[in-house]
Amino acid sequence: MNFCVFSIKLDTLVPVTSVQLGETVTIPCQLPVIETIRKEVHWYKQRAGDTLKVIWTMRESATPEFAPEFNNSRLKVNHNKHFTNLTILKTNQEDEGIYHCGFTEWRRNTEWTGTYLLVKGNDVRFFHGVLPHASVFHPGDSVTLQCSVLSSSNRKTCPGGHNVFWFREANTSHPSIIYTDGNRHHECEKRSETEQSCVYRLSKNISSSDSGTYYCAVATCGEILFGNGTKLDSRGTCDHINE
């Protein structure tokens, strides 16, 4: 029976590299200067509470290869005898974790370099609207405010649904909650393999005191995110606020 023994020497805290959600990031790894024909270089990924998973392996006299789980077009490795750099394209929340670079030379312990990748930002987008699609409203008319929320359909870093709130902001007052949707999705559909859309609606009869800007807000992943809002004027107009 053969045994492989790995030892990890930790002298410093693991450095942190931050990247904005959806952006590209490169994690560098400098290789030791050792002239040998029997060496291996590995990239590993480790999420919180998970074990090491091999991303990429390079052996002398062999073609470098990605592990099947990571064999996709978002991951690239640029390498030579001095360094090996891992690049992740279009980062998502699932990319967050520790990335280990391991260098193994014959009859020597594996030398490790670790970097924690912190993915910043949230993958929630808003689209506001109003029904019916009209430019003029009068007191007594019935309108339905609509808020579409696009988000990741595979949310392992912060699982669970959205808590949705409706706010109204008037010129004479601060924003106030007018309705809470709770953790319920009225209409949800999967738009792609990674994205889903949920539509929330708030119906009301307009009165002279209902002028203001209406926002839907989503509580998710420890944050409250606001859309741009829809402005209603009881004198008869409805405007969408653009970024």
pLDDT along the chain (243 residues), means of 10: 40 75 92 74 88 91 90 90 93 89 80 87 63 64 82 58 75 62 62 75 82 78 70 62 48
* Closest by Cα among 157, 148, 127 to 221: 157
- At 43 the pLDDT is 96
- At 7 the pLDDT is 37
Calculate ∠ Cα 242-194-128, nearest 5°. Answer: 20
- At 151 the pLDDT is 72
- At 221 the pLDDT is 62
Which residues have a Cβ under 8 Å from the Cβ of 134 and sit 6 or more positions away?
A: 238
Q: What is the pLDDT of residues 6-62, one digit of tens each?
A: 333 434 467 889 888 888 999 999 988 766 667 889 999 998 778 889 999 998 778
- At 154 the pLDDT is 59
Query: Are the beta carbons of 234 and 210 closer than 8 angstroms?
Result: yes
Query: Are the beta carbons of 92 and 123 closer than 8 angstroms?
Result: yes
Domains of the chain: 16-120 (2.60.40.10), 125-240 (2.60.40.10)
Q: Is the dihedral of CA 148, 151, 154, 157 positive or negative?
A: negative
